[in-house]
Structure 1
C-alpha cells in the first residue's frame, strides 16, 4: 500500500523556496512520512525477501526521483539570508519563549524533523486536555546539533570558535546539558536544563519536586540522532523514530499531570534518510580544492573560497547573525561530499527541507475535566425478526477508543412488550481501536425456548447503566412454539 502511494506521487514545481516550503508544510511532508512508514513495515515482514524487488524499486524512486527533485528545487532559489526572523532557528528563544508569562518546558528531540513532529501532533490530537499549535522554523547552516542546540538557547550573541569547532553562546561553551544549564541560569536563576530520560525515570513526586519553582526548563532528548549516526540496520532508525514519539508522549503526560501547563516540542535539525545504495558517482570530490578544514558528508566549513559545480555557500555570519565571513559550503542535491566518515544513508548538515525544517509544537494543557465520551455502538443492518433461538447480531463501534472516546460496556438482551426478559443478557465491550473493520462486535443472544404470541411486540434492549443510556429496537416474533 505504501509503495503504491509513493509510486503515484510527484514533487510539484514551485516558483521559489518559499512556495516549496509552504507546499511541504501543508502536503509534501507526507512523502517522507510514507517512505519512513514503508521502511518500518518492510522490517516487520517475516519473509521480506518476497518483497525485496518492490523495496529496491521504491528505494530508487524515492531517492533518485522524489528526494532528488525536492532538494534540487529547494536549492535553485534558497538563500539563508532571506529567511524571515519569525522562522529563524536562531530566534527561537525570542520568538517562542522569552515573552511567555507562565512556566515553559521545552523538549528538544535531536533530529525530530518536521514530518515526525506532524506524526506526534496527530497522536496527541486525540487528547481533549491538550490544545496544539504547530509552528516551525528553519535551521541555521550547517544543520547540525552543535549549531541547533546552541542557537536555541537564550543569548545576546553567538560566535563561531573555529579552533574548537564550536558555537559559543555569549562567549560560553554550551556543548552539553550542564553547560546549557549554566547559560540558562545567567538569564534567570530559576531556569534549568536536564535530560528527558531523567523525567521518564522519575516518580510523580519526584517530577513535582523537580519542576517546583522553575521558570524555564530545557529537556534534551536523543533517540533518533543517536541511532542514525551508528546505523547498522534499517530497523534501528525507523524503530528509534517510533520510540522517540512514544517517549515524548510519556514525558508530556508526566509533566501535564504534575502541573505543567505549557510545553513546546522542537528539534535541533532534521535529516535525510534513504535506503538506496550510495555510489561514488553520488559523491562530490573536493580533493582538487585547496582549503582549510575537513569536509563532512553534507557540509564544509572553511575560511577559503571555493567554486565547485553542484555546491552553494553561505557564511557563518548569516547563520549566527554576526559579521563572521567563514564560508559554509553544501551540495545542492542529496549528494554527499567525499569525507572521512564514508557514505551514509542517514545524513544531515546540509541544505534541504528535510534537514532544515524543524517542528515547533506548542502545547497548552488544561486541568479541566475531560470531555471524553463513552464509545457508542450501533446495530448493523438486520431483518428485525426473531427467527431463531440463537440470534447472531453484529454491532459497529462508531469511533475508535482514544482520549476522547472511552471504553464502554453495554448490556444487550430481548424483552416482550411487558418488559419481561425473554433472553440471556450479553455484555458488549466497546473497547476497540483501529479501522471500522476492526471495530465490528459480533454477539450471540439465546432466546428462551417457550411459547410466543406472534401478535405481540418484542424489543432488543441496549443499555448502559453507568451512563443511563437505553435504546429499544422493535422486533417481530417468527417463533410460534418451541415446545
Structure 2
C-alpha cells in the first residue's frame, strides 16, 4: 500500500501559483530573523490590477494602495501602515499571517529612493526594512510576462516574446488567471493562445456568478448579462433572474446533465469560487438519494464521525485499533477525492491515508537476529512507518483534530516504536554498536572539489524525503547509513561524523558528553572544532559563504533539531520548510562549482505527539540527566540500560529503556538508543551526469547594455556558450550560440530590448550540445 497515492493533489491554476509565490516571499527562519512585517508588492505599470479582486477572495491578507475603501481592504499609505501594525480594530489580520501590500503604479526604485519618495508613500518606506519585497532576483518588479516565463520564482512557461503576444497576454489576464497550468505547459504560447481564452466559457461564467452574483452582475455590461441569461436558459434550463442562486446551487450539486460539466469546472479549482460552498450548504435538497459528495455539510458530518472514532481508539488493543483504522479507511477514504478535500475541509480523511498505511505496517513488529539485520529491515522499508506517522499529523491543524490523531498514533504507532527500540537495545547488550574504531570514514571524506555538509538532526526518513527532492532536480544522489556515536547528542555525535575524528579523544565523560582535543586534552568547543577542520584542509564555511570549489570545506545548515526541541510535536509542520532550505543551500553550492557534496548528520530523534513515556532515574545517581541519556555519578549502579561512550569505551552512559525519557512532557527527544536516533544517513550528491564529462567553470559574466561577455575556465577547447531562459531547452535561447575562443571568452548579444531585466542563464556546451555548466544572470546586468 502506498499511502501517498491516495492524497488528492489539486490542479493548480495561474492565480493559485501566484498566491503561493507571494506567500513564499514571507518564509523565514525563526531562529535567525523575526517574521517580516509585510510583503511589499510593487507594480509600476499596474499590470496585475485586473486580477486583484480575484486575489482578494483567495488572500484576505491582501491590502491595496488606493482610495479609502476598507470594505475592499484598500486605502492610502498611512491606512495601510496602520493595518500592517495591527493598529485598527476593524481590520483583522492574524499575527501568524504576513500582510501583503499591493502598490499599483509604484516601482521598487521609488521606495528605495527615500529622499525622492513622494510624501504620500513615505509611511510605507520603513516597511521595506521590516518586511520583504516580492521582486525578481534582480530586484525589478514582477511583470506578468516575467512571472509566466521565469524558472526562478515564476512558472517557467514557453511564451513568445513579440509585442502582439504581450498585448494579448495582458488583455486576457483575468481569464488567464483561472486557467489550469496543465493547459499551458508544454506549449509555445503566442497571441492566438491568449486570445482563445476569451472564447465562450459558460461554465466559468456561471460559477463566477454563483460565487458573487451581485458583483458579477454589476460588473458586466447589459449585453453580456443578457447573453449570459440566454445561455443559462438554453444550456442549463435555468433563469438567473427568476430562479436565483439557490436553485442554481441545487442543480450544481445534483451534477446532472449539463451541470455535470459545471461541477467538473468547480472541482478543478474550487478556491477560485469561494462563495459556492456556502450556497451549496444552503441548497441541499431533502432527498434520500442525494449525491453526498456535493454538499459540504455531509462532508463535515463524516469528519465528526471519523474524529470520534479516532478518539475511541485509545480503548482498543493495538491489533483491534489497526482493524478499526482499516475499516474507517474503507468508509472515509473516498472523501479524499471529494472537492472538500481540495479546500482543506476533510483533514481527517486526508490523514487516514497514512494512518491506514501505518495500520498495515505496524501489525507486525520490527525484528531481526542481529543489529545489522535490524538496520537492513529499517533501511529497506520500515522507515516508511516513521514517515507515515509524520504525514498523518501534518494533515491536520485544528486542536480537536490533533487530539484525535494523537490518540490514533498512540494506539498503533507507539507500540511498534517501543517494540523496535526494546529489541535493538537487547541486541546491543550482546553486540555493541560500532564505536570510534568500529567504522571508518570512507563514506564521509571527500577529495578536492568536495564539501561536507552537516545537517543537524536529519533523521533517516526525512533524509529520504530530501533525497527524493534532489533526484527530482536531476542530481545524482546516493544514500547510505552509519551508526551515530553514543549517546546520540550533538556534543558526542557531531565530531564522530567529521574528518577530524582522529584528532579527538575521550577523557572523563563529564556532564555534557563533550570529548577533547587529542593534542592538549582541551574541551572540544565550537572554535577548537573549526580550527581542527581548517588544519585538516576543511575550512569552515558560513551559511552564506560559497568557498573555493577547487579545494575542500565543511559547512553547516538546517534547524531540524533546534526546531524539534522548541516545537516538540508541532515540528511536523516545519519539516517540509527545512527540506526546502537544505535544497536551496545545496543548489547554491553546486551552482558555485562544488563537484560533490556529502551530507552528514549527528543523530535522529524520537517523535510521539501526546508525549513519550517517562521512566524514573534518581538524580543522586547521575552527574547530569538529559531527556534520553544520563552521565552516571561515580560508581553508581542504575536500573536502566547502559552503553559505551563513543569516545571512551571505559565510560558508561545510562540510556532510557525503550522510547522512554527521564522526564515528562517530551514529544521530541534524542540521546538514547533506537533506530530512529542511532541509524543516520550519509548522502552523496553531485549535479547529475554532467559532472566529470568535461571540466568547465564560468568565472565571469559582465554586461554592456544588452551585450554579454562571458569568461570560462576549461580543460579543453571547442566549447560553446549560449544564453537561455531554460537551461536544458535550446529553443529558449535568446542569443546566437558562440564558440569560446582560445582564452575562454565569448560575446553574446540579446536583440530583444524587452528582455532587459529578466532572469536568464549562461550555459556552456560541449561539441555535442551537452550542458556542462551554467551561471544565472540578469539580462542587461544588475541594477
TM-score, normalized by length of structure 2?
Answer: 0.40
Q: How far 1:304 moved relative to its partner?
A: 3.5
> 2:410 maps to what in 1?
60
Distance in 1 (alpha carbons) for counterparts of 2:403 and 2:592: 50
> 2:590 maps to what in 1?
256
Q: How far 1:211 moved relative to its partner?
A: 2.0
Structure 1: 5+ residue stretches without partners: 200-206, 370-402, 410-483
Distance in 2 (alpha carbons) for counterparts of 1:80 and 1:179: 36
Q: How far 1:133 moved relative to its partner?
A: 1.2
Q: Check 1:117–1:90 CA distance in 2 against 1; reply closer, same or farther (3 A cut).
A: farther
Q: How far 1:306 moved relative to its partner?
A: 4.8
Do structure 1's residue 285 and structure 2's residue 630 form an aligned pair?
no
> 2:532 maps to what in 1?
183
Do structure 1's residue 101 and structure 2's residue 433 form an aligned pair?
no
3-state secondary structure, aligned to 1:143: coil
Q: Check 1:226–1:303 CA distance in 2 against 1; reply closer, same or farther (3 A cut).
A: same
Q: How far 1:173 moved relative to its partner?
A: 4.1
> 1:6 maps to what in 2?
358
Q: How far 1:332 moved relative to its partner?
A: 2.5
Of 623, 636, 641, which residue of structure 2 is paired with 1:312? 641
Of 22, 45, 50, which residue of structure 1 is paired with 2:376? 22
> 1:463 maps to what in 2?
none
Of 549, 567, 576, which residue of structure 2 is paired with 1:231? 567
Distance in 1 (alpha carbons) for counterparts of 2:430 and 2:574: 30
> 1:158 maps to what in 2?
505
- Residues 300-449 of structure 1: matches in 2 within 5 Å? 300-309=630-639, 311-316=640-645, 319-320=646-647, 322=648, 325-338=650-663, 342-366=664-688, 368=690
Q: How far 1:212 moved relative to its partner?
A: 5.0
Q: Check 1:84–1:225 CA distance in 2 against 1; reply closer, same or farther (3 A cut).
A: closer
Q: How far 1:253 moved relative to its partner?
A: 1.1
Distance in 1 (alpha carbons) for counterparts of 2:536 and 2:358: 48
Do structure 1's residue 295 and structure 2's residue 625 form an aligned pair?
yes
Q: How far 1:264 moved relative to its partner?
A: 0.8
Distance in 2 (alpha carbons) for counterparts of 1:308 and 1:231: 31
Of 418, 427, 436, which residue of structure 2 is paired with 1:77? 427
> 1:144 maps to what in 2?
489
Distance in 2 (alpha carbons) for counterparts of 1:90 and 1:257: 36
Q: List 4+ stretches of structure 1 deviating above 6 A.
A: 403-406
Do structure 1's residue 193 and structure 2's residue 543 form an aligned pair?
no
- 1:298 and 1:336 in contact (8 A); partners too: yes
Distance in 1 (alpha carbons) for counterparts of 2:539 and 2:592: 17
> 2:194 maps to what in 1?
none
Distance in 1 (alpha carbons) for counterparts of 2:437 and 2:728: 37
Q: Check 1:212–1:25 CA distance in 2 against 1; reply closer, same or farther (3 A cut).
A: closer
Q: Check 1:366–1:31 CA distance in 2 against 1; reply closer, same or farther (3 A cut).
A: closer
User: How large is the Cα RMSD of the aligned pairs?
Assistant: 3.2
3-state secondary structure, aligned to 1:294: strand
3-state secondary structure, aligned to 2:580: helix
Structure 2: 5+ residue stretches without partners: 1-352, 692-725, 733-783
Q: Check 1:277–1:348 CA distance in 2 against 1; reply closer, same or farther (3 A cut).
A: closer
Deviations 1:154-197 (A, max 9, x none): 13241245457321132354332x43320112223xx21133x3
Do structure 1's residue 211 and structure 2's residue 548 form an aligned pair?
yes
Instruction: Indicate the larger mover: 259-268 or 34-43.
Output: 34-43
TM-score, normalized by length of structure 1?
Answer: 0.64
3-state secondary structure, aligned to 1:293: strand
Of 599, 609, 615, which residue of structure 2 is paired with 1:265? 599
Q: How far 1:109 moved relative to its partner?
A: 0.8
Q: Check 1:52–1:349 CA distance in 2 against 1; reply closer, same or farther (3 A cut).
A: closer
Distance in 1 (alpha carbons) for counterparts of 2:630 and 2:380: 31
Q: How far 1:277 moved relative to its partner?
A: 3.9
Distance in 2 (alpha carbons) for counterparts of 1:185 and 1:267: 19
More helix by share: 2
3-state secondary structure, aligned to 1:125: helix
Distance in 1 (alpha carbons) for counterparts of 2:391 and 2:437: 28
- 1:17 and 1:75 in contact (8 A); partners too: no
Distance in 2 (alpha carbons) for counterparts of 1:42 and 1:80: 42
Q: Check 1:306–1:343 CA distance in 2 against 1; reply closer, same or farther (3 A cut).
A: farther
Distance in 2 (alpha carbons) for counterparts of 1:9 and 1:294: 38
> 1:240 maps to what in 2?
574
Do structure 1's residue 124 and structure 2's residue 467 form an aligned pair?
no
Distance in 2 (alpha carbons) for counterparts of 1:150 and 1:53: 39
Q: Check 1:101–1:108 CA distance in 2 against 1; reply closer, same or farther (3 A cut).
A: closer
Q: How far 1:53 moved relative to its partner?
A: 6.1
Distance in 2 (alpha carbons) for counterparts of 1:300 and 1:151: 19
3-state secondary structure, aligned to 1:95: coil
